[in-house]
Structure 1
Amino acid sequence: MKRALITGFKGFTGWYVAAELEAHGWEVWGTGAHDEAGDARYRHVDLADAAGLREVIAEVRPDAVVHLAAIAFVGHGDADAFYRVNLIGTRNLLAALGAAAQRPECVLLASSANVYGNATEGVLNEATPPDPANDYAVSKLAMEYMARLWMDRLPIVIARPFNYTGVGQAESFLLPKIVAHFRRRAEVIELGNLDVCRDFSDVRAVARAYRRLLEVGPVGEPVNVCSGRTHSLREALAMAEAITGHSMRVEVNPAFVRANEVRSLCGDPAKLRRLIGEWDTPPLEDTLRWMLGGDVA
């Protein structure tokens, strides 16, 4: 049985990646920044704690690492935290892995399609030049460049997920916000531009893609994780209304409208499918139906 270590184990994505790996015969351990009793395979260690990371890696001796721990909400108020966690924290992790007696067979770093920025419209593939437009995106791109310094010592794969969602995602993200309003049958919701189109995947499909990337190990390469399809918020609202039979008034709040926002951003999943084989994400309507039901499955 191979052993995987997931950072950000108790986060939204970590839960699904752990379940996916366990379902396919992996022994899963995890780390996180919060104390939590009762889980024998969870270790409380902060990414800023270089010595603590070395101790955990020496104990677990992982065959693979999925690095999910990050500050992921673009609107997070502390810009410095993006760099402390997403850049310096990742460097501490790679340094600990590089110094370990048993080095892993694959290290998957979760970057973000945000590195492409808002300046390019249309279908984005891995050759699209990065053009980050906020501190979160800059921190993720900086993480990718920093990781290159370790690629002669560690088998690193860089995943660039586009938007994805599912049960358990925080309401600070748009689709969970919409779902929460429908679940409580709210009368009104405030949103920004309803006609921007984005590439949405289901977190369960993202977890499958991460598992396959671990197994295939396309070392040194960035890989988009995306559906290749786009939907607008207006379409998502219409789907939720059709599923629930509930309608509510939508008010556009100018504070939620970003200047120079690109109308449509779509990823190209061709490289991902070429590497891991047949893969797709459920239609957005199916994901929304699952989220509106509220059960993790």
Structure 2
Amino acid sequence: MNIQGKRVLVTGAEGFIGSHLTERLIELGAEVTAMVQYNSFNGWGWIDTFDESMKKEINVYTGDVREYDNVSKVVKGHDVVLHLAALIAIPYSYQSPMAYVRTNIEGTTNVLEACKEYGVEKIVHTSTSETYGTALYVPIDEKHPLQGQSPYSASKIGADKIAESYHRSFNLPVATIRPFNTYGPRQSARAVIPTIISQIISGKNQIKLGSLSPTRDFNYVKDTVEAFIKIAESDKTIGEVINSGSNDEISIGELVKLIIKITGKDVEIVCDEERIRPQKSEVNRLWADNTKIKQRTDWLPRYSLEEGLTETAKWIEKNMQYFKTDIYNV
């Protein structure tokens, strides 16, 4: 399948990855509907920052994936659905776990049910590397056991299994993408990379962070977006769970050193107890095996970590109004 000319719905289009994906789909010639969460301000998230010419190419629909009637209306008439709408902040999932069940599990079920009702040609459901928990072996392939180490990861495991069941039970053409640690422009300060960079750029001499020992497999947002599109276009991905990752790992401590090198600022790292996860909940190691996505598609990561961090730092420096560096963003 070629995405060009397809009627594509993106849920969660106002968010970090969703907004980049929406832009890329327009560039590729898709007819895009961007579903954004309803709010009384009629705000469209990051879509509000797009050029007017880009906005004119997008059909924006405000709604809520937790409401089936709402989801059914917007899914109707689309060929492809890319489902990204979710609650994603791990610390907040400790405070409000039921919100994650309602949005991530029930919301996903609503999307899948509507896709089944209207015969959607292809669905890509978004998972997360957090579903693997701390690596039991590395690199982590798609056969690795799933571990619910936070309410967030448990809710995403539930959503992933609902997607699997709709393929097995109803032959729904759904693929599940499991991205590892995406970063880049527009990511909020709840994530570690913008937290580090925004604190440095704000002129702080001390940077507050949680644990420095965990490792992550970081991926620039443009590479993750291309993975979504390649998985959507490939018939070989239907019914499959597919990692998208760089096949490399770096500790948070080493990441800080790299960012210090890129920004040219020397800072002291201070451990902030508020930012440390409960001991059994911390995911200590993530490292993606990306063999499957390379076998099923022609996707390859294009950005090195240093290149991606450089682009991210440039964007954050120009957009510091979005960052409250004196407040811990749960």
- TM category (shorter chain) comes to over 0.9
Farther off after superposition, 185-194 or 207-216? 185-194
Q: Which amino acid aligns with 2:314?
A: G
Other structure's SS at 1:150 match: helix
TM-score (norm 2): 0.84
Whole-angstrom CA distance in 2 between matches of 1:18 and 1:52: 20
Q: Structure 1 pair 245/148, CA: closer, same or farther in 2 (3 Å)?
A: closer
- Give 1:119 shift: 5.6
Whole-angstrom CA distance in 2 between matches of 1:48 and 1:286: 38
Aligned residues of 2:134 and 2:285 also touching (Cα < 8 A): no
TM-score (norm 1): 0.93
How many aligned residue pairs are there? 292
Q: Which amino acid aligns with 1:26?
A: A
Unaligned runs of 5+ in 2: 45-54, 319-330
- Check if 1:223 corresponds to 2:281: no
Q: Structure 1 pair 253/158, CA: closer, same or farther in 2 (3 Å)?
A: same
- Check if 1:170 corresponds to 2:191: no
Matches within 5 A, 1:232-247: 232-247=251-266
Q: Which residue of 1 aligns with 2:115?
A: 97
Q: Which residue of 2 aligns with 1:202?
A: 220
- Give 1:137 shift: 0.9
Other structure's SS at 2:153 match: helix
Farther off after superposition, 64-73 or 226-235? 226-235
Whole-angstrom CA distance in 2 between matches of 1:255 and 1:31: 34
Whole-angstrom CA distance in 1 between matches of 2:260 and 2:133: 31
- Give 1:211 shift: 0.4
The equivalent position to 2:309 in structure 1, one of 257, 281, 288, is 288
Q: Which residue of 2 aligns with 1:212?
A: 230
Q: Which residue of 2 aligns with 1:192?
A: 210
Other structure's SS at 1:265 match: coil
Q: Which residue of 2 aligns with 1:70?
A: 86
Whole-angstrom CA distance in 1 between matches of 2:195 and 2:181: 14
Q: Structure 1 pair 161/104, CA: closer, same or farther in 2 (3 Å)?
A: same
- Check if 1:268 corresponds to 2:272: no
Q: Which amino acid aligns with 2:293?
A: L
Larger fraction in helix: 2
Name the Cα RMSD after superposition: 1.8
Whole-angstrom CA distance in 2 between matches of 1:265 and 1:13: 20
Unaligned runs of 5+ in 1: none
- Give 1:257 shift: 3.4
Residue identity over aligned pairs, in percent, reads 26
Other structure's SS at 1:279 match: coil
Other structure's SS at 2:166 match: coil
